[in-house]
């Protein structure tokens, strides 16, 4: 199951480096040629100047020899040039260009008669020699010429030495540049490879990450489309992984992810590709002709692999996963749709109790589309004022008085009519709308309670409002509650906040602190749906709770169901032992009422007494009861 990811192009990088090196070499060559040519010009000018100076010296000292036609004196003058190694031949000529004296080195040709062009220019160059002509003047009149021929061998020798030096420097520079470029190229390739690794590999598990997954899945679908076959996709989401992070810490959570990864790799085939695409989300790609048939078997392997406990220090952790399955091309024909369908199937598996796999079916997509539509309508409902509150009374079993009301959100859509809270509350939870919805419920309920208080109808009644898991995690919750109480002028001790048992156990330490702050402000607190969440009896004494609400599932079958009777009786006894009062939800019959009264339950809530009603209906009921009390 090892994965190697290298998406850089070393050949392209090498070619680019070679082109750069050749370009640099060409530039150095051109520069070297220019420098050599410049040196040639410098050496040539120096040679002209040197020979011209010698010709001038000879001309100044040869006038007498010309005037007296003294050949010996002329030869003696020319003999002085022997000390100059570059001089090949020289001659003194009369103004009629008749030689007076000639001098040449052995094996060198004698000097030629000076031409008009040479006399006019002063010097002339050929490939092998330089000739310089200098007039011999006497009393401002030309009486003859000195002509000297110098060889170019020394000039070429010096130029060759200079060219060698320049080329050596250029080649050295090129070699240094090549070494530097090679080192830089290796560093760049290593950096690119590392960045590529970071871009495609999850640093915690060393599995391909979401980006690599998208590329792998696209490649697999392309191959299946071209050559036939199928691509299976399994999306795994670890169930209740957040509880591990919250209770054992993120370090242990990371260790658990590594252990899960190792176990999955051991159980899966080498042809399967496993990726980590999120915090506790993994995805497996099966690409083969039989992927559609194999995928269920792989899903069963995954759930079986996670069944044994994981050891984290002294803790044994049991991890389950909800798995969603989708197959190309049966369920989708592109990456995005295939992934979305697997996600839909995974949430279906979660909704059915977790620790299961679910294959995608078209009707799931219809439900998902319906959910998206409902979310969009719910967002507009908050803006358009389509939401309203109903209130269900809570009655003291000993006195029959209304001691509280629970605020319940209702939604009346202009086209859909009344939408059940069972439908829109989960959507609000999943989408995050529950925070703004909960804030609206709290404000509206407090405003209504203040209205009843001003009318003398509230008395010592509590207004009970539910808090969701998202609200308890909202950093602004405490500020929102205090602001709403201040704005509505409602006393904190007439507000009761209901938190479900499962929400309390999401983050025990943070929730204990939150509830202590709420209690310090005088706000009453109750646990809703008690008995349906975690086994939290050991934690119960840590929470500053005023009231427990027995979930309706334990009330529905009493009397008659011995287990439910025992559970309800035990909850009531335990709550009283901890100084809490008890509310029973869902009371619909006289028999339920009598059993709970005999068991010592304090408050009832249910259809037996009153259904949830509008503020106007409850106002009328409160007025009626007040009138009845006054008449008595």
How high is the pLDDT of residue 591? 92
* Separation between Cα atoms, residue 285 and residue 1, nearest integer Å: 12
CB 455 within 8 A of CB 500: no
Of 93, 354, 107, nearest to 239 by C-alpha is: 354
How high is the pLDDT of residue 197? 67
Token pair recorded at residue 463: 């207004």
Cis upstream peptide for 329 (omega within 30°)? yes
* Separation between Cα atoms, residue 209 and residue 220, nearest integer Å: 16
Of 548, 214, 585, 561, nearest to 393 by C-alpha is: 585
* Separation between Cα atoms, residue 197 and residue 13, nearest integer Å: 18
Token pair recorded at residue 90: 């020289």
CB 128 within 8 A of CB 154: no
CB 435 within 8 A of CB 473: no
* Separation between Cα atoms, residue 18 and residue 24, nearest integer Å: 10
* Separation between Cα atoms, residue 602 and residue 66, nearest integer Å: 151
Residues of the chain with confidence (pLDDT) below 50 = 1-10, 535
How high is the pLDDT of residue 532? 64
How high is the pLDDT of residue 198? 66
How high is the pLDDT of residue 595? 92
Helices vs strands, H then E, count in the chain: 22, 21
Residue carrying structure tokens 């287990």:
563
DSSP state of 268: S
β-sheet bridge partners, residue 123:
132
Of 18, 455, 465, 7, nearest to 208 by C-alpha is: 7
How high is the pLDDT of residue 486? 93
Token pair recorded at residue 434: 């529950």
* Separation between Cα atoms, residue 606 and residue 554, nearest integer Å: 13
How high is the pLDDT of residue 441? 93
How high is the pLDDT of residue 11? 52
* Separation between Cα atoms, residue 272 and residue 253, nearest integer Å: 25
- Cα distances from 229 to residues 200, 283, 285, in angstroms, run 26, 20, 13
Instruction: Look at the chain and count its residues.
Output: 632
Helices (H), 550-589: 552-555, 562-577
For the chain, the distance separating the N- and C-terminal CA atoms, rounded to the nearest angstrom, is 82
Sheet containing strand 230-238, strands side by side = 273-276, 281-288, 230-238, 321-328, 357-359
Angle at 254 between CA 248 and CA 259, to 5 degrees: 105
Going 40 to 46 to 50 to 56, the CA torsion angle's sign is positive
How high is the pLDDT of residue 145? 92
DSSP state of 201: B
3-state DSSP of 503-558:
HHCCCHHHHHHHHHHHHHCCCEEEEEEECCCCCCHHHHCCCCCCEEEECHHHHCCC
β-sheet bridge partners, residue 402:
395
* Separation between Cα atoms, residue 561 and residue 579, nearest integer Å: 27
* Separation between Cα atoms, residue 478 and residue 516, nearest integer Å: 11
Q: Quick one: residue 342, left, alpha or beta (phi over 0 = left, psi -120 to 50 = alpha)?
A: alpha
CB 530 within 8 A of CB 551: yes
* Separation between Cα atoms, residue 529 and residue 541, nearest integer Å: 17
Of 212, 211, 257, nearest to 236 by C-alpha is: 257
Token pair recorded at residue 28: 């150095």
How high is the pLDDT of residue 56? 92
- Distant-in-sequence, close-in-space partners of 403: CB < 8 Å, separation ≥ 6: 394, 395, 396, 460, 461, 462, 603
Name the helix (H) or strand (E) containing 496: strand 495-500
How high is the pLDDT of residue 533? 56
How high is the pLDDT of residue 77? 87
CB 324 within 8 A of CB 352: no
How high is the pLDDT of residue 537? 59
Q: What is the pTM of this model?
A: 0.55
* Separation between Cα atoms, residue 337 and residue 344, nearest integer Å: 10
- Distant-in-sequence, close-in-space partners of 454: CB < 8 Å, separation ≥ 6: none
- What is the chain's alpha carbon radius of gyration, rounded to the nearest angstrom? 51
Sheet containing strand 129-138, strands side by side = 99-104, 87-94, 141-151, 129-138, 123-125
Angle at 397 between CA 392 and CA 401, to 5 degrees: 60
CA 178 to chain centre: 36
DSSP secondary structure of 58-77: HHHTSHHHHHTT-HHHHHHH
* Separation between Cα atoms, residue 15 and residue 266, nearest integer Å: 42
Of 130, 116, 120, nearest to 87 by C-alpha is: 130
Of 632, 629, 630, nearest to 401 by C-alpha is: 629
Q: Residues 44-92: pLDDT tens digits?
A: 899 889 999 999 998 888 888 888 888 898 888 888 888 888 899 999 9
């Amino acid at each position: 199951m090892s994965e190697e990811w290298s998406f850089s192009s070393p050949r392209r990088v090498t070619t680019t480096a070679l082109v750069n090196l050749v370009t640099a070499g060409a530039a150095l060559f051109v520069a070297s040629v220019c420098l050599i040519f410049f040196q040639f010009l410098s050496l040539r000018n120096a040679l002209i100047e040197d020979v011209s100076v010698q010709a001038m010296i000879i001309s100044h000292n040869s006038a007498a020899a010309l005037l007296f036609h003294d050949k010996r004196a002329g030869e003696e003058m020319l003999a002085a040039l022997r000390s100059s190694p570059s001089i090949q031949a020289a001659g003194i000529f009369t103004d009629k260009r008749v030689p007076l004296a000639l001098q040449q080195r052995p094996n060198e040709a004698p000097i030629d008669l000076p031409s008009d062009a040479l006399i006019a220019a002063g010097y002339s160059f050929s490939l092998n020699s330089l000739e310089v002509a200098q007039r011999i003047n006497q009393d401002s009149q030309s009486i003859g010429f000195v002509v000297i021929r110098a060889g170019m061998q020394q000039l070429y020798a010096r130029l060759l030495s200079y060219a060698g030096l320049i080329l050596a420097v250029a080649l050295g520079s090129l070699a240094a540049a090549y070494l530097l470029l090679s080192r830089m190229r290796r560093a760049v390739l290593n950096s690119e490879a590392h960045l590529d690794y970071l871009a495609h590999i999850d640093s915690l598990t060393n599995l391909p990450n979401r980006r690599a997954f998208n590329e792998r899945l696209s490649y697999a679908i392309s191959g299946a489309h071209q050559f036939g076959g199928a691509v299976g996709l399994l999306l795994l989401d670890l169930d209740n992984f957040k509880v591990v992070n919250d209770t054992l810490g993120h370090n242990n959570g990371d260790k658990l992810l590594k252990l899960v990864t190792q176990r999955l790799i051991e159980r899966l085939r080498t042809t399967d590709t496993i990726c980590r695409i999120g915090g506790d989300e993994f995805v497996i790609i099966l690409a083969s002709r039989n992927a559609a048939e194999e995928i269920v078997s792989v899903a069963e392997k995954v759930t079986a692999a996670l069944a044994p406990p994981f050891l984290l220090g002294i803790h044994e952790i049991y991890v389950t996963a909800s798995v969603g399955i989708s197959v190309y091309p049966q369920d989708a024909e592109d990456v995005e749709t295939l992934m979305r369908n697997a996600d839909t199937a995974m949430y279906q598996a979660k909704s059915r109790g977790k620790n299961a796999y679910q294959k995608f079916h078209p009707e799931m997509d219809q439900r998902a589309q319906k959910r998206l539509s409902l979310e969009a309508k719910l967002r507009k409902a908050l803006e358009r004022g389509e939401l309203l509150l109903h209130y269900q009374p809570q009655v003291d079993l000993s006195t029959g008085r209304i001691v509280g009301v629970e605020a319940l959100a209702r939604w009346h859509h202009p086209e859909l009519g009344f939408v059940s809270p069972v439908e829109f509350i989960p959507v609000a939870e999943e989408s995050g709308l529950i925070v703004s919805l909960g804030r609206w419920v709290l404000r509206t309920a407090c405003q209504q309670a203040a209205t009843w208080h001003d009318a003398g109808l509230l008395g010592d009644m509590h207004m009970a409002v539910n808090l969701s898991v998202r609200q308890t995690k909202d950093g602004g919750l405490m500020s929102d509650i205090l602001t709403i109480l201040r704005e509505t002028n409602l006393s904190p001790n007439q507000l009761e906040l209901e938190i479900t048992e499962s929400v309390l156990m999401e983050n025990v330490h943070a929730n204990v602190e939150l509830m202590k702050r709420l209690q310090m402000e005088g706000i009453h607190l109750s646990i809703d749906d008690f008995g349906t969440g975690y086994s939290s009896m050991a934690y119960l004494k840590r929470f500053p709770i005023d009231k427990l609400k027995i979930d309706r599932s334990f009330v529905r079958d009493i009397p008659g169901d011995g287990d439910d009777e025992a559970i309800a009786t035990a909850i009531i006894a335990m709550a009283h032992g901890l100084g809490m009062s008890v509310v029973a939800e869902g009371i619909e019959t006289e028999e339920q009422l009598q059993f709970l009264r005999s068991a010592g339950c304090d408050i009832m809530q249910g259809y037996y007494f009153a259904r949830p009603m509008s503020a106007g209906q409850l106002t009328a009921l409160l007025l009626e009861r007040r009138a009845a009390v006054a008449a008595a």
